[in-house]
Amino acid sequence: MPPPNVPGSLHMGHAMFVTLEDFMVRYGRSTLWLPGTDHAGIATQLVAERMLTSEGIKRVELGRDEFAKQVWKWKEKYGGTITNQIKRLGASCDWTRECFTLDEQLSRAVIEAFVRLHEKGLIYQGSYMVN
C-alpha cells in the first residue's frame, strides 16, 4: 500500500485508490497487501508544533530530543485516523502486519539500502539539480 501521511485524513482520491487496490488484491493474483502510514516529516512536525503552540510551548524551547518525543506522542494519539478510515472503507489488508515508515526495522532497511547504493557508486554528491 502506498502509505498515506500520518497527519492528514483521507480524501476522495485516497478512497478511489484504496478501492482499486483492494479490487486488485481480492480478484487478482494472490498477494500480500501490507498496510502502513508514512511519517510525512515536515507535515507531522507542523501539526505537532501547532499542538505545542496551542499549549503555549515553542519547539525551540524544548530542544531536539524532547521535541522528537512530543512528535511521537502526537503520532500515537492522532496517527490512527487514516488507518481507521481505510479500515472503514473495507480494505482487505493484513492489519496484523501494519507498518510505519519510522519503525526501527524499516529505518534500518532504508539505511542499508542507501549504504549499498553508495558503495556501488549509485549515490553521490554532485553540483547539479535533481528532481
Flag whether the pTM goes above 0.85. Answer: no
Dump pLDDT digits (tens) for 52-91. 889 898 888 888 898 888 888 888 877 788 888 889 999 9
In a domain, 64, yes or no: yes
In a domain, 117, yes or no: no
Q: List beta partners, residue 37.
A: 100
In a domain, 122, yes or no: no
Residue 73: which domain range?
A: 12-102
Considering only CA atoms, which of 16, 1, 21 is closest in space to residue 98? 1
In a domain, 91, yes or no: yes
In a domain, 7, yes or no: no
pLDDT class of 126 with cuts at 50, 70, 90: confident
In a domain, 21, yes or no: yes
- When divided into structural domains, the chain yields a total of 1
**Burial of residue 74 (number of CB atoms within 10 Å: 0-12, 13-18, 19+):** buried
In a domain, 93, yes or no: yes
Would you tell me how many other CB atoms lie within 10 Å of the CB of residue 129? 5
Grid cell locating 95 = 492489519
pLDDT class of 100 with cuts at 50, 70, 90: confident
In a domain, 32, yes or no: yes
